[in-house]
Amino acid sequence: MNVIIIEDEKPAARRLSRMLGDLQIEVHTMLHSVQESIEWFSNHQHPDLIFLDIQLSDGLSFEIFDNLTIKSAIIFTTAYDEYALKAFKLNSIDYLLKPIDDEELERAVQKYKEQLPEKQQLQVDFEDIKKLLVNPMDRVYKERFTAKVGQHLKLFSVDDIECFYSENKGTYLYTNEKRNYLIDNTLEALEEELNPKQFFRVNRKFFIHINAIKDIISYTNSRLQVKLNHFNEHEIIVARERVKDFKLWLE
């Protein structure tokens, strides 16, 4: 089976390649942008199966096929489950929600293998899918947050924030100036508002900024303890189920 991965985040591509290796599937090529993929497809035989990230660094991956006839089966990989689900229903193709789960990956590969005898060419209508994805794929993350200080509103750039945390049913941001401020946002809302390349939710109570990390220490039960540049009001422990993704985020 000739398999390629098209994914702009190289740690995620390497992780998926390792997971496929565990299923005895060798990944022959990893591509990371629309332009790189267009050049590759123009000069190589199309693979049997593509694991396709929907959003790449230089555009939607569907642009790869605007001027190419698709000759491969596709399994979408995406962080946007509801939209991927609609795309899947439209096109009878599979999708994997990030972070990719081992069992889900195995099921998707098995589904592809079961369809092999039919040798049916997938007819993917990328234009229909793009209409569903316009807003979520052009994600704009918050660059500033506000906190009420007395009768005033104070503005904070995300670059000046070490972490967000919850305490006593409130949500706080902690700044590089060693001050914390109560904000209106919940941690669940922050999940959609923070750029995942800058912030990571290490457990139920903490988001941390990647530039605020001072040290990472092995902790009990296969967990990790994170020390920030200034914040020391509470221990920050990476939950065991998040350790693998946390390490990938650091790469």
Tell me the domains of the chain and their CATH numbers.
3-137 (3.40.50.2300), 144-250 (2.40.50.1020)
Q: What is the structure's pLDDT at 129?
A: 59
SS3 189: helix
One-letter identity of residue 22: D
Compute φ and ψ for 190, nearest 5 degrees: -60, -30
pLDDT at residue 242 tops 70: yes
CA proximity to 232, closest of 168, 154, 162, 161 = 162
Q: What is the structure's pLDDT at 141?
A: 86
pLDDT at residue 207 tops 80: yes
Compute φ and ψ for 2, nearest 5 degrees: -95, 115
Residue entry with tokens 């234009």: 127
* DSSP single-letter state for residue 178: S
Distance CA 74, CA 87 (A): 12
Radius of gyration of the CA atoms of the chain, in A: 21
Higher pLDDT, 90 or 147: 147
Q: What is the structure's pLDDT at 86?
A: 54
Higher pLDDT, 223 or 141: 223
Q: What band does 137 get if pLDDT is binned at 50, 70 and 90?
A: very low
Report how far Cα 113 is from the mean position of its chain's Cα atoms. 26
Q: What is the structure's pLDDT at 92?
A: 45
Q: What is the structure's pLDDT at 74?
A: 86
Kindly provide the residue ranges of all beta strands, DSSP E only, lying in 48-134, ordered along the sequence: 49-53, 55-56, 59-60, 73-78, 94-97
Rounded mean pLDDT, 44-58: 88
